Amino acid sequence: NKAKFRNLHVLEFDTHMLDTLAQRMNILSELKTAISEQQGFYLALQPKVDMQNGQPVGFEALLRWQKPDGTLCPPCDFIPIAEASGMSLELSELVLHMTVQIIRQFQNAGYSLPVSFNLAYNDVSHPAIYQAIESFIKTGQVKPSMLEIEITESQATQDYQLLNPVLSKLIKLGVNVSIDDFGTGYSSLSQLTNLVATTIKVDRQFVHDLTSPNRENALHVIQMIARVAHRFNFDVIAEGIESKEQERLLLENDFKFAQGFLYAKPMPLADALDWLTDHYRGPK
């Protein structure tokens, strides 16, 4: 009867919730250990290229976590957990440290290429991150022009009055600042004037839409972004390029730099060095 059915339903629902909760608790405890022991994390590196000649102009470092059981946990599954449980800053410090090591290893192999890394809003504005970056630079461990931070548009615009002074200080040091996933946030193009940044990184949704039924809209958006970015002196890069057709459309619309599976997937350092051996034609 009805009452019984409802009870059964509730029971199933609870079991499912408990499963998810247990899973989260499990990830949380594994993550805690991994962060405190600095174990299991590495940065996957994806090249940024000059579309006119296919030459690498830099890399983005994307965090990877290999869990104790060997499975790879994607950032969208553990970064929010780290943020919600107060472990984000420690993780960001680790990412910064690993990024500096990567830059040094590129340098040792003869490549002078900037590497960007992603920072959560709360961590960018935390004095510990600025101090760590400044110290890496002052002690000569990294050239500021080799270091770039990426912060998402939605985070950068939500509290830009708080964030802008830190970003200005970083830019003054010579560090580049990218506004990531640009176009997906709530800011309008007119708010570009409020952003303290060196680079606008157009979200891959617009690149994807360039070759979809929504192509007219996407084309308008990227044309506007290119024009406004030029007007306000931002560098522009597009992310998520998967086809030659998308590349052609971007080149036609004054884009020069891009990142995406068309060129390479994010890869471990050793593979990135192999990739450079095959693709880098500039002076070493």
Residue 284's DSSP bridge partners are none
| Beta carbons of 125 and 163 less than 8 angstroms apart | yes
Among 120, 147, 167, 238, binds ligand C2E (CB under 6 A): 120
Residue 40 interacts with ligand C2E (CB under 6 A): yes or no: no
Residue 266 interacts with ligand C2E (CB under 6 A): yes or no: yes
By rule CB under 5 A, what count of residues binds Mg ion? 5
| Beta carbons of 268 and 45 less than 8 angstroms apart | yes
Helix-then-strand count for the chain, H and E: 11, 9
Residue 181 interacts with Mg ion (CB under 5 A): yes or no: yes
* Of 238 and 281, CB closest to Mg ion: 238
Residue with tokens 């290119």: 226
Q: What sign does the CA torsion over 257, 261, 262, 264 have?
A: positive
Q: Which of residues 74-133 bind Mg ion (CB under 5 A)?
A: 118
| Beta carbons of 259 and 45 less than 8 angstroms apart | no
Residue 144 interacts with ligand C2E (CB under 6 A): yes or no: no
Q: Which of residues 8-37 bind ligand C2E (CB under 6 A)?
A: none
Q: Which two tokens stand for residue 221?
A: 């958006």
- Strands annotated E in the chain: 41-50, 55-66, 72-73, 115-118, 147-152, 176-182, 199-202, 235-239, 257-259
* Of 19 and 245, CB closest to ligand C2E: 245
From 75-83, 137-145, 185-193, 227-235, span contacting ligand C2E (CB under 6 A): 75-83
Residue 93 interacts with ligand C2E (CB under 6 A): yes or no: no
Q: Which of residues 150-169 bind Mg ion (CB under 5 A)?
A: 150
Q: Which residues bind ligand C2E (CB under 6 A)?
A: 46, 62-63, 74-76, 79, 95, 117-120, 150, 180-181, 204, 239-242, 260-261, 266
Q: Which residues bind Mg ion (CB under 5 A)?
A: 118, 150, 180-181, 239
